[in-house]
Every structure is written in C-alpha cells, then in structure tokens.
Amino acid sequence: MSSTNVSGTVSSTGQASSTATGTGSKSEQAYAQLKDRILGGELVPGYRLVLSSIAIEMGFSVVPVREAIRRLEAEGLVHFVRNVGATVAGIDPDLYLHTMQTLSIIEGAATALAAPSISAEELAKARELNNQMREVLGNFDPVRFTALNTEFHALLYARCPNPHILDLVHRGWNRLGRMRSSVFRYVPDRAHASVQEHDHLLDLIETHAAAADVEHAARAHRTNTLNAFLAQSHQPPSPI
C-alpha cells in the first residue's frame, strides 16, 4: 500500500493502485494511481505532490506525471500553491455549500417521488446497507461509510419518475464525488446521526407516509450533514 511521508511527498511499496491496470499510456497510469490515492483518502488535503519523487516511485519520467497532475487539477482534486507547488485539494466550502443546498431540494423531491415505487426488496437492501454503515461506526472508515451511503441514497431516489430531476440529482452527486472522497472524514461524528436519520426515512417510506413528510425528512437529512460541515468550518448554518 502507498503512504505519504512526513514531508508531504508520496512514497510507495511500488504496488499498483486498485484503479491502475498497468495498461494505457504512462500518463494514464500515473493519473489513475494518483486519483485512486486521493479519492481513497491515502493522500490527504494539503500534501505536496512532488513531481520528481512520484516519477521515481512509478518508474516514469517527469512528463507523464506532470500531465496526470494537470488532469487532476482540472478535476479539482489538485491545486497549485505559490512557492509550494502541487498539493492535494480539500473541500471548497462555497462549492460544497451550494451543491448540498441544491441537493437538499432536488434529492428530497426525487426521493419523495420515488417512494411509492420502491419495492420491498429494495427497502430491505437499503436497510442492509444502513446496517453495514452502522457496523462501520465502531472502527470508523470514512471512505467505506461514504461508499455505502452513496449506494443507499441512490437506491432511494433511483425510481424517481421525473428524468429531469433525476439528472440534476446525479449531477449533484457527481460534483460531490469530484470534490472529495468523504465529507465524513471532516465530520466523523455526523455519521452516527446520519444512520439514525436513514432509519427514520426508511420507516416513512415503508409505512407509505405522505410525500411531503418523506421529502422533508430527506431534505433535513442532507441539510444536517451540510450544517455539520459548516460548523466544523466555523461558518454560519444553511438557512434551508
């Protein structure tokens, strides 16, 4: 497994990451490995990505590594700091705020519209995913928790009959994915309340609660996560 040394540069045992297949151009391989480490939380925000060190580690020249880092910068996963160089980017608070505010509205609507069409089997699957999230709380793994959380919510809004709303929801989740692998790395305590709110939301859907109640619960759930992050960032809570 790769690791990051105390100076903030990348070090490795030389093993390929899970998304790097060893095929494609050297630039593509460098991109896949670095992206996997960033999204997996191995390379944390603020760590320096030193071209020469990464190139030696991967057995490449500096050129493909530079191209890979430029691609990651375009995706918002890396940014350049004056007199420092390339560093792993953190969450942009404003972008996160705007994305979560939007998602709280459109995902709440999508979940409420999808609720009548969710099957008993899908509800059971959602409960199993939430139970897996509950198990993760004991030895908290924010990346694993986020992966389960993403699958959980996708299951609840997938049957939304309005394709335009569903498209906006997908765009919002994709934007979150490009920002960071897990907001729960920043607000780990929020995960406990999140699991409980999932239980409440599933209860509402299972008992065929009014669409307004389902939408309110889904919207409040998203806003609560946003406000936990804003509190950690010492910003005022969202008015939504």
Per-residue pLDDT, 188? 87
Count of other CB atoms within 10 angstroms of residue 67: 16
Per-residue pLDDT, 129? 98
Per-residue pLDDT, 7? 35
d(C-alpha 18, C-alpha 33), whole Å: 8
Could you read off the pLDDT tens digit of each residue along the chain, which spans 240 residues? 334 433 344 433 333 333 444 557 899 999 999 988 887 777 877 788 998 999 999 999 999 999 999 999 887 788 887 788 898 877 777 888 899 999 999 999 999 999 999 999 999 999 999 999 999 999 998 888 999 999 999 999 999 999 999 999 999 998 887 666 567 877 889 999 999 999 999 999 999 999 999 999 999 999 999 999 888 766 677 666
Per-residue pLDDT, 235? 67
CA angle 17, 75, 227 (to 5 degrees): 100
> What's the Cα-to-Cα distance from 149 to each of 37, 49, 57, 85, 109, rounded to whole Å?
20, 29, 34, 34, 18
Written as six digits, the tokens of 178 are 């490009």
Q: Given the structure tokens 């996560």, which residue do they identify?
A: 225
CB under 8 Å to 175, separation ≥6 — which residues? 95, 99
Count of other CB atoms within 10 angstroms of residue 75: 15
d(C-alpha 71, C-alpha 239), whole Å: 35
Q: Given the structure tokens 């899908």, which residue do they identify?
A: 122
Helices and strands in the chain, H and E counts: 9, 4
